[in-house]
Amino acid sequence: MAGEIWVLAEHWQGQISEITFEVLALGRELAQALGIKLEAVLLGHGKKDLAGALGAADRVYYVDHPSLAEMAAESCAAALEELVRSKKPKAVLVPLSNVTLGIGSLLAAKMGAVCINSCVDVSISDGKLQARSLLYGGKMEATVTAAGDPTILGISPGCRPIEAGRAAAVPPVEQVAVTLPDEPKVRFKRYIEPEAGDIDICEQEALVSVGRGIQSADNVELAQELAEALGGAVSGSRPVIDQGWLPMSRQVGKSGASVKPKFYLAAGISGAPEHVEGMKGAALIVAINTDPKAPIFNVAHYGIEADALDVLPALTAKVKERKGH
């Protein structure tokens, strides 16, 4: 049916990704506000059984093709273009992760459609879609009202609780055929797994995570001392990993690991959306930053406006004192 809200279902290594459920929850709100249906689109090859997890949608369109076995942007955008031109949805919500990044933008370019990326929220205002979008790594926020259908919306992680997008119901599935080249120009080859041997930061109950604000590799030791006192480990944001201050296995964020420790300390981390994606599920988040407007304070439960190099040693001393060391 034309004029519905669509959600692209992201899958990775045979599972529906958690961000899909976040976007389904948001899509359900929009569909209800507009009095229309919510439909999910599942692209894959031999993955029809995954549609059963998308019960928050009123219907699932499933497209099966060898070129869609993995979610390569070119093939997915081509399949979506054909589907969108045929079914004419009002909006397509595309999760923004390292798996699906680029699909929405490419789809919009192919169709000459409106595209709003890095959306942290979408609502309805006077019957129109209105998106809150973060720009320049989260340093600026813009409110954009969409004009024209379809609107392609790239949704950042954390838009809604994951559980709000899960449902026990099994949705009806309509399989749709599309025409795609058997040999696309860009295709997925293989996953490269990280080398074993380092600790698994996903298994730690306490993480002391460092960013550019610690200034040099030598200062990682301050974080290490606090992590040891807490019985946890050190992790970091991408800039720290890129500079070689920590191994890649310690990276938290969109292109690293998603962690859910009981305690997460962000020291000298600005809080770009790519990093927040990987740590927003922590039970308790404490941020240390000299910039009072740093985006990390928007997700932290407690914030310390100070230099991490001064705070880390003080926290270590206090933890050791409480433990009687």
Same domain, 161 and 38: yes
Q: Flag whether the pTM goes above 0.75.
A: no
Is the pLDDT confidence value at 324 over 70? yes
CATH number at residue 285: 3.40.50.1220
Q: What is the pLDDT of residues 129-188, one digit of tens each?
A: 999 998 876 668 899 999 888 999 999 887 898 999 999 999 999 999 999 887 778 777
Q: What is the pLDDT of residue 262?
A: 96
Same domain, 252 and 168: no
Same domain, 143 and 247: no
- Widest pairwise Cα distance in the chain: 69
Same domain, 280 and 153: no
Give, for 12, the enclosing helix (H) or strand (E): strand 11-12
Total domains in the chain come to 2
Same domain, 24 and 78: yes
Is the pLDDT confidence value at 216 over 80? yes
**In a domain? residue 241:** yes
How much of the chain, in percent, has pLDDT values that exceed 70?
A: 97
Q: What is the pLDDT of residue 196?
A: 62
Q: What is the pLDDT of residues 225-282, one digit of tens each?
A: 999 999 999 999 999 999 999 998 899 987 788 899 999 999 999 998 889 888 988 9
Residue, of 324 and 279, whose pLDDT is higher: 279
CATH number at residue 124: 3.40.50.620
Q: Which pairs from 183-190 meet CB under 8 Å and 24+ separation?
A: 184/67, 184/72, 184/74, 184/75, 184/78, 185/74, 186/72, 186/73, 186/74, 186/75, 187/67, 187/72, 187/75, 188/69, 188/70, 188/71, 188/72
**In a domain? residue 189:** no
Residue, of 156 and 90, whose pLDDT is higher: 90
Render the burial of 266-304: b for 16+ CB within 10 Å, e for the rest. Answer: bbbbbbbbbbbbbbbbbeebbbbbeeeebbbbebbeebb
Q: What is the pLDDT of residues 287-319, one digit of tens each?
A: 999 999 999 999 999 999 999 999 999 999 999
Averaged confidence pLDDT in the chain: 92
DSSP one-letter string for 86-154: HH--SEEEEE-STTTTTHHHHHHHHHT-EEEEEEEEEEEETTEEEEEEEEGGGTEEEEEE--SSSEEEE
Residue 133 belongs to what domain range? 5-175
Helix ranges (H only) for 204-266 are 220-230, 238-242
Same domain, 157 and 10: yes
